[in-house]
C-alpha cells in the first residue's frame, strides 16, 4: 500500500489504491518525512526518521511566519522531502489552513504523499487511558470530543462529562469545564508513543478538519429602491 504512495512521489503517476490508515512507522520507512503541526499556538515542525527519532523546531509566532521559520531552521528543502505528515485538526483553523496551503503549493512543484492526523486522537492514544475524553473548543458553546473507541464527536458544552483533558496551547473561546486537566501537546514526546497506531489518513487535498461541509444560505439579490411615498 505505502509502496504505491511512494511510487507516486517518484513517478508523479497516481495509482489506484484503497483508503488506508497507516502508522507513522510505515510512513517513515522512506525518509525524510516531515511533520507540520500548527493546530496550537506553538507551531511544531519535525524531520522524522524510521526509528522514531527526529529533529524538531518550534515557534510561537503566527503560523504564516512560524511555519517557514521552522522549516528554515531545520534546513528543509521541500523538493527533497519524501512525504508529508500534518495535523488536520481540530485546532487553529487559520494555522492548519496555512499548512494546507503550503502543502498544496509544494505539491504543484513536485507531488509527494501527504498524510493527515487528528490532534485529539494523537493525545488520546498517547495517554492510553480508556474513558478519558480529549477536547478542543469548537465554538458556539460546543466542543470537539475524542475518546478511544468512540472517535471524534462534537458535543454541546452542557453535555460534557467524565474525565476530560485538553492539550496545552490550544485556544478556546468558551469557558473551560470545571473537570478538565491540561496536558502537554509536544509532538517530540507524543509521536513515539503512537508510532505503531494506525492514525494517519492519506489525502491529495490537505485542508482543515470539518465535522461536516458548511451550509450556505441562498438569497435572491434585489435592486435597492427608495421607499415608495404614499
The dihedral of CA 203, 41, 106, 2: what is its sign? negative
Retrieve residue 69's grid coordinates: 521559520
Average pLDDT, the chain: 88
Q: What is the pLDDT of residue 20?
A: 62
Retrieve residue 158's grid coordinates: 452542557
- Higher per-residue confidence, 215 vs 102: 102
- Higher per-residue confidence, 220 vs 95: 95
Work out the pLDDT band at 86, boundaries 50, 70, 90: very high
Q: Which CATH architecture has domain 2-119+185-203?
A: 2-Layer Sandwich (3.30)
Question: Would you give the end-to-end CA distance of the chain in angstroms?
Answer: 75
The answer to whether residue 229 scores a pLDDT higher than 90 is: no
Q: Would you mind telling me the total number of residues written for the chain in this entry?
A: 230
The residue ranges of every structural domain in the chain are 2-119+185-203, 123-183
Cα–Cα distance for residue pair 147/134, rounded to 1 Å: 6
Strands 83-89 and 33-37: parallel
Name the percent of the chain lying above pLDDT 70.
85
Q: What is the pLDDT of residue 4?
A: 46
Work out the pLDDT band at 179, boundaries 50, 70, 90: confident
The answer to whether residue 14 scores a pLDDT higher than 50 is: no
pLDDT digits (tens, 9 = 90+) for 15-59: 434 456 899 999 999 999 999 999 999 999 999 999 989 999 999
- Higher per-residue confidence, 229 vs 196: 196
Cα–Cα distance for residue pair 6/129, rounded to 1 Å: 34
Q: What is the pLDDT of residue 223?
A: 72
Cα–Cα distance for residue pair 184/147, rounded to 1 Å: 17
The answer to whether residue 112 scores a pLDDT higher than 90 is: yes
Amino acid at each position: 500500500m505505502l509502496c504505491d504512495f511512494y511510487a507516486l512521489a517518484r513517478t508523479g503517476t497516481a495509482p489506484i489504491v484503497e483508503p488506508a490508515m497507516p502508522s507513522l512507522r510505515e510512513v517513515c520507512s522512506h525518509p525524510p518525512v516531515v511533520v507540520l503541526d500548527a493546530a496550537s499556538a506553538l507551531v511544531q515542525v519535525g524531520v522524522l526518521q524510521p526509528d522514531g527519532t527526529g529533529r524538531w523546531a518550534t515557534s510561537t509566532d503566527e503560523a504564516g511566519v512560524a511555519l517557514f521559520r521552522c522549516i528554515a531552521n531545520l534546513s528543509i528543502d521541500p523538493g527533497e522531502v519524501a512525504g508529508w505528515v500534518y495535523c488536520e485538526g481540530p485546532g487553529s483553523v487559520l494555522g492548519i489552513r496555512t499548512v494546507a496551503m503550503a502543502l498544496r503549493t509544494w505539491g504543484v512543484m513536485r507531488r509527494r504523499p501527504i498524510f493527515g492526523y487528528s490532534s485529539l486522537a494523537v493525545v488520546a492514544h498517547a495517554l492510553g487511558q480508556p474513558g478519558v475524553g480529549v477536547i478542543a473548543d469548537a465554538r458556539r458553546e460546543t466542543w470537539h470530543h475524542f475518546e478511544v473507541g468512540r472517535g471524534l464527536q462534537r458535543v454541546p458544552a452542557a453535555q460534557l462529562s467524565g474525565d476530560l483533558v485538553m492539550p496545552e496551547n490550544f485556544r478556546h473561546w468558551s469557558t473551560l469545564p470545571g473537570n478538565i486537566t491540561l496536558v502537554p501537546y509536544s509532538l517530540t514526546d507524543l509521536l513515539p508513543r503512537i508510532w505503531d497506531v494506525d492514525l494517519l489518513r492519506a489525502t491529495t487535498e490537505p485542508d482543515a478538519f470539518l465535522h461536516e461541509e458548511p451550509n450556505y444560505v441562498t438569497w435572491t439579490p434585489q435592486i435597492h429602491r427608495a421607499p415608495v411615498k404614499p
